[in-house]
């Protein structure tokens, strides 16, 4: 006998039209996903922590011995590309707000990655509004009028991009939907609501339910996603193998398990993406306590041609193409500016060079952050692909990447400078002030910044503090120095703040920064703390001290109910 999972409770405000997404049927669907998979998610998050501790204690990061046969077996391939995912030469990304959704759908890109992760501050309103916008877009109903300008927006493209949704990663909970007081995994909420409402409509439209999977740290996490997909398809009577997922390789541990990740998801795989920003963050975090050669120089010195980044992207392309999977490139931070033509020219030149390098390396397409960059990326890939939709046939047998190449300790040229420290602090605080105001992507100094920027910056500062790194100017990175620079930046931001609300956001940004960059221990992510503290609906919001239980990524571990998987 299968137990029937309890119905989830909604703890967030029911804003207009939220009842269209949070239907009893959709919530019952989420309860089944949760009942079958939340327990394993909690175990896998615990396994992440254990692995981190072992590496900090000196264990070597390496390819897995247990899965050698998967890597050596030349016979398996992933499923052939699904409708709408054959030609991915240019993919635009962005949070699913009404205006940006419409602009992305009219951008001329082949794919639109609708983002609930790095570029979305996951407030309750943003999360459910995002689901509403996607639902409307998929049914051709999405329209928007900008109240300030009066400009009306609607989708006019003859062939809009294929929609690929990026749910939040395994680490986050959705505090506004609970079962027995336990918040549901945010990944299951984002995936489940989108799949429940849109899977059949997407198939009817000639595509399918497609996903980007962020921040995986092991092939066992890919196996969990695969089990979620299998259950979800069974529950809705959607043929197995309809879902497709591109996994972001954006953690160092995952780079050692690319083959295994593709293998676990092989019937649902649509390739791998080189998530370069979080990859840098993960590299720093993986070796945060190790110091010495593992300390990276200023963020600006870490480019796609530094040895560790080169090794990782080369391995990604060769792995994907050996298995018939798309290799998708990453995000250059440069964005055009309406106000400054020279900034736009520089952005176009930088993005052109980045995309040309990726196309020459064998990537099948890449990401851009702004509609003004779609033509540049498309042209860079056109030049290499010609009439072909991709270059899956390009085998990179010349690539031989070792564990030492991926780690490349001490091989990143550059220095740790006062300027680098100041920039990390300043960009973090400016971005965080936007994030606590529910805005997850911002242009700062003509660069696109999102949550991954803060993750890199604050982890780097934590590592520099922990190891008392000496700046090239001679000063040692100490709490006093960082506090002084933070104060300077906070004062400058207060001087620019125009109302009580923006002053509050500056203080909140400082709190999140201090908590995530300057504590004794390194928090795994800044987002769980910042979310609990500042983003959840006010009646739920914690104002007093936050307990370990509030912040646990896994929350209380629910009982495992594997037998309910296909119920």
Which amino acids are annotated catalytic?
166, 450
Query: Which residue lies nearer to Mg ion by CB, 198 or 282?
Result: 282
Query: Which residue lies nearer to Mg ion by CB, 295 or 441?
Result: 441
Considering only residues 82, 85, 92, 332, which one is a binding residue for ligand ACO as defined by CB under 6 A? 92
| H or E segment to which residue 368 belongs | strand 366-368
3-class DSSP assignment, residue 493: helix
CA distance linking residue 256 with residue 512, whole number of Å: 31
Q: Evaluate whether 207 touches 43 at the Cβ level (below 8 Å).
A: no
3-class DSSP assignment, residue 273: strand
Interaction partner, residue 428 (ligand O=CC(=O)O, ligand ACO, Mg ion, none; CB < 5-8 Å by kind): none
3-class DSSP assignment, residue 270: strand
Interaction partner, residue 71 (ligand O=CC(=O)O, ligand ACO, Mg ion, none; CB < 5-8 Å by kind): none
Query: Which residue lies nearer to Mg ion by CB, 217 or 489?
Result: 217
Query: Which residue lies nearer to ligand O=CC(=O)O by CB, 34 or 250?
Result: 250
Q: Evaluate whether 263 touches 287 at the Cβ level (below 8 Å).
A: no
Q: Residue 119, interface with ligand ACO (CB under 6 A)?
A: yes
Considering only residues 110, 370, 458, 505, which one is a binding residue for ligand ACO as defined by CB under 6 A? 370
* Least CB distance to ligand ACO at residue 226 (A): 23
Q: Residue 190, interface with ligand ACO (CB under 6 A)?
A: no
Q: Residue 275, interface with Mg ion (CB under 5 A)?
A: yes
Q: Residue 278, interface with Mg ion (CB under 5 A)?
A: yes
Number of residues that bind Mg ion (CB under 5 A): 5
CA distance linking residue 276 with residue 99, whole number of Å: 27
Number of residues that make up the chain: 567
| H or E segment to which residue 162 belongs | strand 162-166
Residues numbered 94 to 113 that lie near ligand ACO (CB under 6 A) are 94, 99-100, 103-104
Interaction partner, residue 88 (ligand ACO, Mg ion, ligand O=CC(=O)O, none; CB < 5-8 Å by kind): none
- End-to-end CA separation in angstroms for the chain: 10
**Residue with token string 């990944």:** 187
Candidates 19-27, 39-47, 277-285, 413-421; binding stretch for Mg ion (CB under 5 A): 277-285
Interaction partner, residue 442 (Mg ion, ligand O=CC(=O)O, ligand ACO, none; CB < 5-8 Å by kind): ligand ACO
DSSP state, residue 160: P
* Least CB distance to ligand ACO at residue 344 (A): 9
Interaction partner, residue 548 (ligand O=CC(=O)O, ligand ACO, Mg ion, none; CB < 5-8 Å by kind): none
CA distance linking residue 408 with residue 287, whole number of Å: 12
Interaction partner, residue 369 (ligand ACO, ligand O=CC(=O)O, Mg ion, none; CB < 5-8 Å by kind): ligand ACO
The encoded tokens of residue 144 equal 């928007």
Q: Evaluate whether 112 touches 166 at the Cβ level (below 8 Å).
A: no
Query: Which residue lies nearer to ligand O=CC(=O)O by CB, 261 or 452?
Result: 452
Candidates 64-72, 74-82, 235-243, 439-447; binding stretch for ligand ACO (CB under 6 A): 439-447
Give one DSSP letter per residue of 176-230, joined into a string. Answer: EEEETTEEEEHHHHHHHHHHHHHHHHHHHTTS--EEEE----SHHHHHHHHHHHH
CA distance linking residue 298 with residue 423, whole number of Å: 9
Q: Residue 350, interface with ligand ACO (CB under 6 A)?
A: no
Interaction partner, residue 100 (ligand O=CC(=O)O, Mg ion, ligand ACO, none; CB < 5-8 Å by kind): ligand ACO
Interaction partner, residue 443 (Mg ion, ligand ACO, ligand O=CC(=O)O, none; CB < 5-8 Å by kind): ligand ACO
Site residues, ligand O=CC(=O)O (CB under 6 A): 118, 248, 250, 275-278, 330-331, 452
Distances (CA, A) of 35 to 23, 230, 557, 560, 564: 18, 14, 11, 7, 7
Q: Which residues sit opposite 366 in a β-bridge?
A: 90
Q: Residue 331, interface with ligand ACO (CB under 6 A)?
A: yes
* Least CB distance to ligand O=CC(=O)O at residue 283 (A): 12
Q: Residue 365, interface with Mg ion (CB under 5 A)?
A: no
Q: Evaluate whether 119 touches 93 at the Cβ level (below 8 Å).
A: yes
Q: Residue 118, interface with Mg ion (CB under 5 A)?
A: yes
Q: Quick one: three-class SS letters along 215-263?
A: CCCCHHHHHHHHHHHHHHHHHHCCCCCCCEEEEEECCHHHHCCHHHHHH
Widest Cα–Cα separation across the chain: 69
Query: Which residue lies nearer to ligand ACO by CB, 196 or 531?
Result: 531
Query: Which residue lies nearer to ligand O=CC(=O)O by CB, 212 or 229?
Result: 212
Q: Which residues sit opposite 247 in a β-bridge?
A: 213, 272
Candidates 82-90, 115-123, 180-188, 317-325; binding stretch for Mg ion (CB under 5 A): 115-123
Angle at 283 between CA 279 and CA 289, to 5 degrees: 150
CA distance linking residue 271 with residue 452, whole number of Å: 22
Interaction partner, residue 551 (Mg ion, ligand ACO, ligand O=CC(=O)O, none; CB < 5-8 Å by kind): none
Considering only residues 34, 118, 221, 354, which one is a binding residue for ligand ACO as defined by CB under 6 A? 118
* Least CB distance to ligand O=CC(=O)O at residue 166 (A): 8
Q: Evaluate whether 479 touches 555 at the Cβ level (below 8 Å).
A: no
Considering only residues 83, 291, 371, 414, which one is a binding residue for ligand ACO as defined by CB under 6 A? 371
Q: Residue 277, interface with ligand ACO (CB under 6 A)?
A: yes
CA distance linking residue 42 with residue 558, whole number of Å: 8
**Quick count: other Cβ atoms within 10 Å of Cβ 173?**
29
* Least CB distance to ligand ACO at residue 160 (A): 12
* Least CB distance to ligand ACO at residue 491 (A): 25
**Residue with token string 């794919």:** 111
* Least CB distance to ligand O=CC(=O)O at residue 328 (A): 11
Q: Which residues sit opposite 165 in a β-bridge?
A: 114, 211
* Least CB distance to ligand O=CC(=O)O at residue 436 (A): 20
Residues that bind Mg ion (CB under 5 A): 118, 250, 275, 278, 452
């Amino acid at each position: 006998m299968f137990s029937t999972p309890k119905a989830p409770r909604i703890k967030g405000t029911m804003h207009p039209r939220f009842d269209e997404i949070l239907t009893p049927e959709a919530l019952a669907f989420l309860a089944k996903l949760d009942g079958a998979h939340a327990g394993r998610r909690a175990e896998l998050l615990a396994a992440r922590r254990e692995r981190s501790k072992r590496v900090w204690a000196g264990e070597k990061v390496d390819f897995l011995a247990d899965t050698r046969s998967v890597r050596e077996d030349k016979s398996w391939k992933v499923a052939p590309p699904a409708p709408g995912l054959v030609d991915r030469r240019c993919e635009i990304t962005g949070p699913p707000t009404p205006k940006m959704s419409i602009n992305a759908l009219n951008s001329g890109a082949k794919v639109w990655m609708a983002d609930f992760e790095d570029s979305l501050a996951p407030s309750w309103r943003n999360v459910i509004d995002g689901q509403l916008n996607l639902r409307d877009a998929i049914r051709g109903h999405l329209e928007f009028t900008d109240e300030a300008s009066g400009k009306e927006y609607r989708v006019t493209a003859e062939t809009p991009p294929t929609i690929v949704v990026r749910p939040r990663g395994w680490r986050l909970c959705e505090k506004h939907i609970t079962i027995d007081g336990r918040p549901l995994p945010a990944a299951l909420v984002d995936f489940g609501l989108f799949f429940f409402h849109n899977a059949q409509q997407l198939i009817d439209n000639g595509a399918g339910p497609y996903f980007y999977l962020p921040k995986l740290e092991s092939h066992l996490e890919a196996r969990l996603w695969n089990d979620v997909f299998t259950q979800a398809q069974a529950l809705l009577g959607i043929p197995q193998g309809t879902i497709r997922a591109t996994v972001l390789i954006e953690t160092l541990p995952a780079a050692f398990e690319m083959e295994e990740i593709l293998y676990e998801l092989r019937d649902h795989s649509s390739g791998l993406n080189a998530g370069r920003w979080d990859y840098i963050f993960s590299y720093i975090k993986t070796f945060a306590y190790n110091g010495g050669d593992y300390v990276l120089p200023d963020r600006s010195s870490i480019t796609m041609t530094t040895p560790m980044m080169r090794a990782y992207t080369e391995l990604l392309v060769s792995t994907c193409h050996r298995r018939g999977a798309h290799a998708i490139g990453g995000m250059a931070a440069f964005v055009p500016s309406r106000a400054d033509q020279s900034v736009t020219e520089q952005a176009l030149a930088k993005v052109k060079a980045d995309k040309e390098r990726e196309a020459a390396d064998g990537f099948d397409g890449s990401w851009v952050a702004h509609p003004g960059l779609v033509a540049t990326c498309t042209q860079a890939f056109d030049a290499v692909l010609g009439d072909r939709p991709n270059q899956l046939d390009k085998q990179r047998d010349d690539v031989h990447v070792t564990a030492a190449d991926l780690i490349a300790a001490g091989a990143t040229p550059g220095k740790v400078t006062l300027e680098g420290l100041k920039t990390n602090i300043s960009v973090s605080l400016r971005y965080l002030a936007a994030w606590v105001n529910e805005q997850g992507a911002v242009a700062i100094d003509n660069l696109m910044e999102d949550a991954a920027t803060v993750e890199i910056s604050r982890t780097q500062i934590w590592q520099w503090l922990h190891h008392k790194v000496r700046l090239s100017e001679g000063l040692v990175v100490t709490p006093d120095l960082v506090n002084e620079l933070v104060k300077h930046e906070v004062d400058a931001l207060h001087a620019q703040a125009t109302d009580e609300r923006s002053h509050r956001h500056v203080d909140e940004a400082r709190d999140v920064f201090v908590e995530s960059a300057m504590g004794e221990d390194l928090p795994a992510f800044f987002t769980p703390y910042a979310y609990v503290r500042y983003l959840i609906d006010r009646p739920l919001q914690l104002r007093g001290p936050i307990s370990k239980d509030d912040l646990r990524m896994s929350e209380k571990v629910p009982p495992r109910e594997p037998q309910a998987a296909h119920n």
